[in-house]
Structure 1
Amino acid sequence: MVDIAVPDVPIAPTPDASGGSSPHAADRRSRPRIDVPGVAEMLLGRWAEDRRISRALALDPATHRLEGASVDDHRERALAQCRLLVEQGAIQRPFPRSFGGQENHGGNVAAFEELTTADPSLQIKAGVQWGLFGSAVLHLGTEHNHEEFLPDILDFTVPGCFAMTETGHGSDVQSIATTATYDPATEEFEIHTPFRGAWKDYIGNAAVHGVAAVVFAQLVTGGVGHGVHAFYVPLRDATGAFLPGIGGEDDGVKGGLNGVDNGRLHFDHVRVPRTNLLDRYGAVAPDGTYSSPIASPGRRFFTMLGTLVQGRVSLDGAAVVAQKLALQIAVTYASERRQFPTAEGEEGVLLDYGQHQRRLIPRIARVFAQSFAHERLLRTFDDVFSGRADTPERREDLETQAAAFKPLSTWAALDTLQEAREACGGAGFLAENRLTGLRADLDVYVTFEGDNTVLLQLVGKRLLGDFAAAAPRDPAGAARFVAARVAGRVADVTRVRAVGQTVLDRGSVRRASQDLRDPVTQRRLLADRVDTMVAGIGMRLRSAGKDRVRQARLLNEQQHELIEAARAHAELMQWDAFTAALADAPDDDSRTVLTWLRDCFGLGLVEEHLAWHLMHGRLSAQRGAAVSATMDRLVGRLRPLATDLVATFGYEPGHVRAPIASGAEARRQDEARAWYAAERAAGRTPGAEPRPRR
């Protein structure tokens, strides 16, 4: 890893992308350059070829969203696009070789993420069909389920639904109210929604196209409830009409993703054969006897849900793709669009203005971090689902990573899309430039496949569990453990660390900046924030002893802090992924640039939480001021490289499809400049109005 010191001096001007001069510097040749193809290969990751194949498919106009299409037309277009995926052999990757698949789990998710560039509705509708409906049959069913149901799912003969969420229960799946009661006399399950809140809701493909569904319900046999299980339930006949006992409603127009026909389903004592139970984790014999390879009901439930984690994994990746598209559009436009006269007399390009750099370049740094973190998540996912490392510990890591990264990337997608829209002014508000449509489509990503706040609670509880496991059990060890935490809090209050920094820096912003850009310093600041928050919550919970009621009350009181700790932990994991990726840079110059970008990401996180670091004595006031000063210098140093950085995303004009990122703006600006130059040369430029005398 190379740590580059940013000098404590202004950065000189370089020519901008349009060929004019900018307020940056004449020493362009001495600057490191980034190897665009080499870094692009880094970003593609292990499943580069799968991504390339999917990107090539996404260049086909038949896969593209048509802006302004009616809801009905958009739905039918998305349906046809799914059939196109089947024709192109794009959906078989994760399925068994016996069904024509490749058992390529990581490559499958990587490829589907890239469909976001074509139309997020296509990505989600395909994800419902093969990533949820098909995967539920594959991972929750056994061989007889596979043989009966998978062929028609794979070739799209049976468009299907993943019917888990209910109107009354979304995140709390364990409490869903739909029942599946076994009748040994007929060897059938009776699927029933006992009240309106138990209707399956927001279900993709339910409104129009779904022919069958995997329905999650409370399994009851012999008067005993065995928790949530999954059942294959036919929904419609060949004419598209609901089968007897089944009803539903169309969710109608949504805020986005209107190519997906979301709807509601309800069941009135609908009977399905016993063999329609997806029985990998729980089986019912003809006489009604229940059996499971997992004795604990709680562990059985979480194991079943864990097999469906790929939805969160794919949303994390799709959110990263959307951010890359937005930044490519906004940076391209900002490097060409001119506004306001500069000291040189010509209008300056937007990207030469300090605030414009600040609004875009740190977000480029963030999406690089999220991209490298997502690659780590994909590798964990593939390790587990391929069976190479399918251990309880690795599964727990997978669930924690997915629950940590999906919230951060989906929230960041909304933030980046909005900032990119504003950075493009009125042009960004035009539907043809895609930013508003992408933002509308990505909005729901923050609440489906797990509400982001709830997911971070899961991460926080894992951190508390690790904290509790690290605490000694013996009285003497426990006393030392508590004393160490108390000493840490005393250090916070007395600001011992901050005093030491002031002595070390000796009043020099440059010295403070150099230490802030040290990766050891950055990681310590990020990790210490996580450890301090988790330890604080953990110590408060310890005060409750074994009183479960008090523990629950204290945990509820600390819920906000716990979610902040989980978010900080996810940010730390992203920083770690970015830092590890530096070793794979194609050359020293690229590593230098990527190190600047990593520092921009890390110090951006410190700047965002600067109040915390100051309040807890982690930074002196001088160092706190140096954080923003160092960020400004890093952003300025990265500005001449901004267009190259977004070029590493590897998206062609056919993926971007935004007129303002097509070169049209540069042509308009060149035309305007040429006209003004000709007018000046011909002496036709009007003189300035004289200033009034005072």
Structure 2
Amino acid sequence: MTELADRTSDTTSSSRPAAQATARSQGTGSSAPGATRDAAPAVDVAALGEQLLGKWADVRRQARELAGRDELHKIEGLTHTEHRKRVFGQLGILVDNGAVHRAFPKELGGADEHGANIAGFQELVVADPSLQIKAGVQWGLFGSAVNHLGTEEHHKKWLPGIMSLDIPGCFAMTETGHGSDVASIATTATYDPDAGEFVLHTPFRAAWKDYIGNAANDGLAAVVFAQLVTRGVNHGVHAFYVELRDPETKEFLPGIGGEDDGVKGGLNGIDNGRLHFTQVRIPRTNLLNRYGNVDADGTYTSPIGSPGRRFFTMLGTLVQGRVSLDGAAVTASKLALKTAIQYATERRQFNASSHTDEEVLLDYQRHQRRLFTRLATTYAAGFASEQLLEKFDDVFSGRADTDEDRQDLETLAAALKPLSTWHALDTIQECREACGGAGFLIENRFASLHADLDVYATFEGDNTVLLQLVAKRLLADYAKEFRGADFGVLARYVVGQAGGAAIHRTGLRGVAQFVVDTGSVQKAATAIKDEANQRALLTERVQAMVAEVGSALRGANKLPQEKAAALFNSHQDELIEAALAHAELLQWEAFTEALHRVTDPGTKTVLTWLRDLFGLSLIEKHLSWYLMNGRLSMQRARTVGEYINRLLVKIRPHALDLVDAFGFGPEHLRAAIATGAEKTRQDEAREYFRQQRASGQAPVDEKTLLAREAREQKAATAAGKGKAKR
């Protein structure tokens, strides 16, 4: 593996052929098992790539092969109507290649493989995010709702057409007036026992179903969520299968109307639209009644007695949308980083350390800070995403499907989806800027990816709202520790907390750290990079934040509703910050667990540096909290940034290996600046100036000439003074 100095002076080493990386990964380079300990560590790219592919590596490879085909790629510059038509045609290609049926029942041509299905789906973002999301609407939302909320009768009746795309459909949950607050949607489905029908109705404009994929043009049917009313009782939100359009004319059926959402900020290959219903009658059997049924006489029954638990169970079956977006966002981050880091090893700018050669962008510390910290976070998010996907598969396969397992899955998805989608947007933007004007060209995909992924932060659950769900779970777990505890136990806990706070906030802990470090920066850095210390700092922050908010909210359940709501609202920001801290800890733990599974010594060393960069970046990000709460001494706090900069230098020679391990080829990147074209241009320029200098025909730079004249003048003046003295 070449060292930093080698890469700085030679662009060939900065963008070495993939074949060389492959050779090293096969044991012919310094990463071979027989490599000496003194040799610089090297990454086994092939083995790391396999680990990154995760449990469903073969499925991901198949999906990537499909996503690499020209016929599935996004064509920039199409009108939104042209883009919609192209994407709908691409859905048929997915059907023909068996790419979308894995999660459906085996007896209907599926495979009952839920994790594998999501793993393959996540890779479609490489081809075109519009294709991924439109496929998600058809099979991940519309089809999944019928599959998970319906019964065997519904499966046989509708799933074959949904799977084959004979029935393009919609998932009609969100309303103009209610997005994240699904429980309060206003569309009603009132049962008429005389006719044996439900009457579907949107009573006012805010109750229109909005932002619904496939609603503007393609949807022939929809799963519509509405308040189920029978015998004068509202039993809450349930799902109904509703035919929307005549299959021949594509016109809306009587009582159904809608309109096109029009051009959006991104994802314009999807025909989002609005739907409304005016006293539309549907058969009683169109109720997807796995969790709630209405008999012919109007009697309502459910296997789940609690209305609240029933509601969350029904919506919980659809958590796969959040799992899908989490992984897709990680994939998009990887795409952006591979392009930006590849370009940064070839692009040269400013000749700070040489009179003849300009610097490679990736040798600048600030450039490394911009890209490597996000690379570390992407690795962490990727490992956490894989854990989430495995948890999802365990629940939906039935291997681990208790109420607690489902709650854990919901909380994990609600924690990780916000972090990964926000991170993707941040990473794509930073990569765009790091590539300068070239990054803004649509041919290099940053602008397009950012536009398409923008909505990921607010659909399938608004990120901020999801974090509130996580915070409530953290508070619930915190409260469980004291449920049924007597006053003495609580009193001792409060005293313990007060004592701990006193130690931290009076600076005693900081003094202890300083004494241990004895003023040595090296000892302080060693302490801060230690895995156990990182875990302690990240974990303690979560615990302290939850305990502080939990203490402030103690007794809220005994207050009148209005006062309880006001109390919660006054601590909402703290709740969300605690949830964010928890999600960051989950990512760090996932990275650390994955690190412990690495067997190649060189790869493990480099990934340890990358994990440390992630952990210390989190600590640096929240350094004010650690200082204000006495968790770090000033001495140790000062070493965080210094050690991060040292890690950047260590990671620099391995940057290309770390992004090569993502496994993307040119057919996936499709970015002109990631093709090696910049290296060709730079080599041509350097050779031109080299030959010019060698021939003696290079013009003299004015600054050089002036400097030479100044030196000559100075020498002449000195010589004149010498003669005068003699």
Q: 1:531 and 1:277 mapped to 2: Cα distance?
A: 44
Aligned pairs (5 A) from 1:360-371: 360-371=371-382
Q: 1:307 and 1:31 mapped to 2: Cα distance?
A: 49
- Any conservation in 1 of the 2:169–2:220 contact (CA below 8 Å)? yes
Does residue 131 of structure 2 align to residue 138 of structure 1?
Answer: no
- Report the Cα offset of residue 517 of structure 1: 1.1
Q: Tell me what 1:468 maps to.
A: 479
- Report the Cα offset of residue 19 of structure 1: 3.0
- Report the Cα offset of residue 485 of structure 1: 1.5
> For residues 331-369 of structure 1, what are the alpha-carbon distances to aligned partners after superposition, in whole Å with 9 as ceiling and x for unaligned?
000000011013232101100011000000011100000
- Partner secondary structure for residue 67 of structure 1: coil
- Partner secondary structure for residue 248 of structure 1: strand
User: Normalising by structure 2, what TM-score?
Assistant: 0.92
- Report the Cα offset of residue 481 of structure 1: 1.4
Q: Tell me what 1:311 maps to.
A: 321
- Partner secondary structure for residue 264 of structure 2: coil
Does residue 643 of structure 2 align to residue 630 of structure 1?
Answer: yes
- Report the Cα offset of residue 14 of structure 1: 3.4
Q: 2:165 and 2:387 mapped to 1: Cα distance?
A: 31
Q: Any gaps of 5 or more consecutive residues in structure 1?
A: 1-10
Partner residue of 1:540 out of 552, 555, 558: 552
> For residues 135-185 of structure 1, what are the alpha-carbon distances to aligned partners after superposition, in whole Å with 9 as ceiling and x for unaligned?
000000001111111110000001100000000000000000000001111
Higher relative contact order (CA 8 A, sep 6+): 1
Does residue 22 of structure 2 align to residue 13 of structure 1?
Answer: no
- Partner secondary structure for residue 349 of structure 2: strand
Partner residue of 2:337 out of 327, 349, 354: 327
Q: 1:306 and 1:316 mapped to 2: Cα distance?
A: 16
- Partner secondary structure for residue 220 of structure 1: strand
Does residue 513 of structure 2 align to residue 501 of structure 1?
Answer: yes
Q: 2:557 and 2:283 mapped to 1: Cα distance?
A: 49
- Any conservation in 1 of the 2:510–2:631 contact (CA below 8 Å)? yes
Does residue 676 of structure 2 align to residue 663 of structure 1?
Answer: yes
- Any conservation in 2 of the 1:133–1:162 contact (CA below 8 Å)? yes
> For residues 370-389 of structure 1, what are the alpha-carbon distances to aligned partners after superposition, in whole Å with 9 as ceiling and x for unaligned?
00000100010000000011
- Partner secondary structure for residue 170 of structure 2: strand
Q: 2:251 and 2:427 mapped to 1: Cα distance?
A: 42
- Any conservation in 1 of the 2:199–2:282 contact (CA below 8 Å)? yes
Q: 2:429 and 2:653 mapped to 1: Cα distance?
A: 23
- Any conservation in 1 of the 2:471–2:576 contact (CA below 8 Å)? yes
Q: Which amino acid aligns with 1:256?
A: G
> For residues 220-265 of structure 1, what are the alpha-carbon distances to aligned partners after superposition, in whole Å with 9 as ceiling and x for unaligned?
0111110000000001112111111111010000000000110000
Q: 1:557 and 1:643 mapped to 2: Cα distance?
A: 47
Structure 1 residues 511, 295: closer, same or farther in 2, change over 3 A? same
- Any conservation in 2 of the 1:135–1:308 contact (CA below 8 Å)? yes
Q: Tell me what 1:93 maps to.
A: 102
- Any conservation in 2 of the 1:202–1:251 contact (CA below 8 Å)? yes
Q: 1:139 and 1:619 mapped to 2: Cα distance?
A: 49
Moved more, 200-209 or 468-477: 468-477
- Report the Cα offset of residue 585 of structure 1: 1.3
> For residues 106-159 of structure 1, what are the alpha-carbon distances to aligned partners after superposition, in whole Å with 9 as ceiling and x for unaligned?
010010000000000000000000000000000000011111111100000011
Q: 1:85 and 1:20 mapped to 2: Cα distance?
A: 40
Q: Tell me what 2:461 maps to.
A: 450
Q: Any gaps of 5 or more consecutive residues in structure 2?
A: 16-35, 715-726
- Any conservation in 1 of the 2:353–2:359 contact (CA below 8 Å)? no
Q: Tell me what 2:706 maps to.
A: 691
Does residue 532 of structure 2 align to residue 520 of structure 1?
Answer: yes
Q: 1:29 and 1:96 mapped to 2: Cα distance?
A: 55
- Partner secondary structure for residue 315 of structure 1: helix
Aligned pairs (5 A) from 1:109-148: 109-148=118-157
Q: Which amino acid aligns with 1:19?
A: T
Does residue 400 of structure 2 align to residue 385 of structure 1?
Answer: no
Q: Tell me what 2:285 maps to.
A: 275
Does residue 662 of structure 2 align to residue 644 of structure 1?
Answer: no
> For residues 178-231 of structure 1, what are the alpha-carbon distances to aligned partners after superposition, in whole Å with 9 as ceiling and x for unaligned?
000011111111110000000000000101111100000000011111000000
- Report the Cα offset of residue 654 of structure 1: 0.4
Q: 1:90 and 1:253 mapped to 2: Cα distance?
A: 28
Partner residue of 1:49 out of 43, 58, 77: 58
Q: 2:578 and 2:11 mapped to 1: Cα distance?
A: 44
Q: Tell me what 1:8 maps to.
A: none
Does residue 586 of structure 2 align to residue 568 of structure 1?
Answer: no
- Partner secondary structure for residue 624 of structure 2: helix
Aligned pairs (5 A) from 1:122-201: 122-201=131-210
Q: Which has the larger radius of gyration?
A: 2
- Partner secondary structure for residue 348 of structure 1: coil
Does residue 74 of structure 2 align to residue 82 of structure 1?
Answer: no
- Report the Cα offset of residue 681 of structure 1: 1.3
Q: 2:353 and 2:609 mapped to 1: Cα distance?
A: 29
- Any conservation in 2 of the 1:471–1:481 contact (CA below 8 Å)? no
Q: 2:200 and 2:576 mapped to 1: Cα distance?
A: 37
Q: Tell me what 2:368 maps to.
A: 357
Q: 1:287 and 1:250 mapped to 2: Cα distance?
A: 39
- Partner secondary structure for residue 5 of structure 2: coil
Q: Which amino acid aligns with 2:541?
A: R
- Partner secondary structure for residue 226 of structure 1: strand
- Any conservation in 1 of the 2:14–2:345 contact (CA below 8 Å)? no
Aligned pairs (5 A) from 1:358-437: 358-437=369-448
- Report the Cα offset of residue 636 of structure 1: 1.1
Q: 1:214 and 1:368 mapped to 2: Cα distance?
A: 37
- Any conservation in 2 of the 1:207–1:251 contact (CA below 8 Å)? yes
- Report the Cα offset of residue 581 of structure 1: 0.5
- Following TM superposition, the consecutive aligned residue runs of length 4 or more in structure 1 with deviations greater than 4 angstroms are none
Q: 2:323 and 2:633 mapped to 1: Cα distance?
A: 39
Q: Tell me what 2:231 maps to.
A: 222
- Partner secondary structure for residue 227 of structure 1: strand
- Partner secondary structure for residue 328 of structure 1: helix
Partner residue of 1:679 out of 692, 698, 708: 692
Q: Which amino acid aligns with 1:258?
A: N
- Any conservation in 2 of the 1:35–1:587 contact (CA below 8 Å)? yes
- Report the Cα offset of residue 508 of structure 1: 1.0
Q: Tell me what 1:5 maps to.
A: none
Q: Which amino acid aligns with 2:491?
A: A
- Any conservation in 2 of the 1:95–1:101 contact (CA below 8 Å)? yes
User: Normalising by structure 1, what TM-score?
Assistant: 0.96
Q: Which amino acid aligns with 1:313?
A: V
Aligned residues between the structures? 680
Q: Which amino acid aligns with 1:482?
A: V
Q: 1:279 and 1:21 mapped to 2: Cα distance?
A: 60
- Any conservation in 2 of the 1:246–1:268 contact (CA below 8 Å)? yes
- Report the Cα offset of residue 688 of structure 1: 1.8
Q: Tell me what 1:6 maps to.
A: none
Q: Tell me what 2:628 maps to.
A: 615
- Any conservation in 2 of the 1:161–1:204 contact (CA below 8 Å)? yes
- Any conservation in 2 of the 1:39–1:586 contact (CA below 8 Å)? no
Structure 1 residues 591, 548: closer, same or farther in 2, change over 3 A? farther
- Any conservation in 1 of the 2:197–2:283 contact (CA below 8 Å)? yes
- Partner secondary structure for residue 46 of structure 1: coil
Q: Which amino acid aligns with 2:706?
A: R
Q: 1:171 and 1:634 mapped to 2: Cα distance?
A: 41
- Any conservation in 1 of the 2:380–2:591 contact (CA below 8 Å)? yes
> For residues 67-104 of structure 1, what are the alpha-carbon distances to aligned partners after superposition, in whole Å with 9 as ceiling and x for unaligned?
11110110011101101100111111001101111111
Moved more, 13-22 or 637-646: 13-22
- Any conservation in 2 of the 1:160–1:212 contact (CA below 8 Å)? yes
- Any conservation in 2 of the 1:115–1:123 contact (CA below 8 Å)? yes
Q: Which amino acid aligns with 1:460?
A: A
Does residue 493 of structure 2 align to residue 481 of structure 1?
Answer: yes
Q: Tell me what 2:718 maps to.
A: none
Partner residue of 1:583 out of 577, 583, 596: 596
Q: Which amino acid aligns with 2:277?
A: F
Q: Tell me what 1:40 maps to.
A: 49
Q: 2:135 and 2:225 mapped to 1: Cα distance?
A: 20
